[in-house]
Structure 1
Amino acid sequence: MHDEAAGDQPEHDEARADVGVGPWPGGPAAWPRDATGELDSRYDPDLLRHGDRRNVVDRYRYWTVDAVVADLDTRRHPFHVAIENWQHDLNIGSVVRTANAFNAAAVHVVGRRRWNRRGAMVTDRYQHVLHHPSVDDLVAWAATAGPDGGALPVVGIDNLPGSTPIEGARLPRSCVLMFGQESVGLSGAARDAAGTVLHITQYGSTRSINASAAAAIAMHAWLTQHAGR
């Protein structure tokens, strides 16, 4: 599901006694069962036995990672997020974490294969993360990744001259929201690939905002237009 060469990150969620829940009340005799009396396959025996200290919503307490991913896959939103990774951008982990919170279809890392997973806080275990060596490769994938094998429009997010404010703009229901590096924004190839470029209106003195913050704002803008409560 995620890039095995992603970078430094603990294999499992860090266990903390002050978060999550303890062992399943009542012990093994009370564990959830299926119709045949066997342990419900969604549940992890180790988590049931020792407690679930992961940062997951209550709906997924004690579930295996595979079960959580399978359930998320039944209701993922049809927007994708792409971020360029030419300079080993530290924001990618935070983008993945936000994409997981909003249940994006996938995150696409464009450029370097390795990315810093620390900001993801292990959410990359639940979020599909794909790699594309170049913008051209992403565009080729998007050309047939839309509904019924059609194209997914690529929407660039950057405060470029001539770009359109995201406030009030209508985002496609199925699309790729593409972001550039923290320092330089979208590359020339990414600008050429984007059918539309939107910017987030700013009111202060800084020229740009953090890339992961911009991604969160854009994803939420999509949600306010297309997602139910």
Structure 2
Amino acid sequence: MNGRTIQDSTPAREQSADAVGPTEWTHRDDVGVGPWEGPWPTDDRYDPELLEHGDRRNVVDAYRYWRREAIVADMDARRHPFHVAIENFQHDHNIGTVVRTANAFAAKAVHIVGKKRWNRRGAMVTDRYQHLHHHAEVSGLVEFATEHGLAVVAVDNTPGAQPIETVRLPRECVLLFGQEGPGLSEDAQRAASFVVSIAQFGTTRSINAGVAAGIVMHAWVRQHADLSASW
């Protein structure tokens, strides 16, 4: 089956800080910008409410006062052709961090494999600007990847894995991460075109899944992204 897009019908302004962590809707006076000064812009990308009351959201300055839908549409024209997937069979608490990092690197989409529910606290509301898909099993992610011509690149420090420091990543791919602790499931390892690992030099057996995701996404950026287009 194809991955289902995850939708949250609760209006952003109605969500509590406890539900999603520090948010763009806390209206802190020391964050963002205040009400628009001077004549209002006529561009329909701008949100009248934000123009009137100020924009305290966690967005870059280029998107200040823009409607959320306008930001997503603009991002859709700029997203990179890599996807990120993370297994969530044990309610992995790193998913919010992965989503936030995927947003920072303009990933095409983030895929949650396993349990649909995840802790959004670490995402810092970036999930409102990032396309999210859910797959109950790894097979659903594989079907999505096949349909869209994406190579599945698994990340784990297992025997035979290729060093991320030297391997050439496919431009159009899914970067697949396992859970904190158990790592990739057997199904995920079998589904991968190949596996990459991150060089480690200390005593720990593995590094945090959220950190690993950031390292590998940045490796993709160094190889394929147009750095002149960054903020």
TM-score by length of 2: 0.90
Distance 1:212 1:5 in 2: 27
Residue from 4, 9, 31 that aligns with 2:20: 9
Shift of 1:55: 1.1
Matching of residue 88 in structure 1 with residue 91 in structure 2: yes
Residue from 190, 199, 210 that aligns with 2:208: 210
Distance 1:8 1:182 in 2: 22
Residue from 102, 108, 118 that aligns with 1:105: 108
RMSD: 1.7
Matching of residue 22 in structure 1 with residue 29 in structure 2: no
Q: Give the conservation status (yes or no) of the 8 Å contact 1:91–1:212.
A: yes
Distance 2:175 2:25 in 1: 28
Q: How many residues align?
A: 215
Matching of residue 53 in structure 1 with residue 61 in structure 2: no
Percent identity for Structure 1 against Structure 2: 63
Matching of residue 64 in structure 1 with residue 61 in structure 2: no
Q: Deviation per CA, 1:89-133: give whole Å up to 9, x if none.
A: 110000000000000000000000111111001000000011000
Distance 2:111 2:192 in 1: 15
TM-score by length of 1: 0.90
Q: Give the conservation status (yes or no) of the 8 Å contact 1:3–1:131.
A: no
Residue from 32, 46, 53 that aligns with 2:41: 32
Shift of 1:161: 1.0
Residue from 122, 140, 165 that aligns with 1:167: 165
Distance 2:26 2:173 in 1: 34
Aligned positions of 1:187-202 closer than 5 A: 187-202=185-200
Matching of residue 79 in structure 1 with residue 77 in structure 2: no
Q: Give the conservation status (yes or no) of the 8 Å contact 2:153–2:192.
A: yes
Gaps of 5+ in 2: 11-17
Matching of residue 186 in structure 1 with residue 184 in structure 2: yes
Q: Give the conservation status (yes or no) of the 8 Å contact 1:5–1:113.
A: no
Q: Give the conservation status (yes or no) of the 8 Å contact 2:24–2:58.
A: no
The AA in structure 2 aligned to 1:153 is A
Q: Give the conservation status (yes or no) of the 8 Å contact 1:111–1:132.
A: yes
Gaps of 5+ in 1: 34-39, 146-150
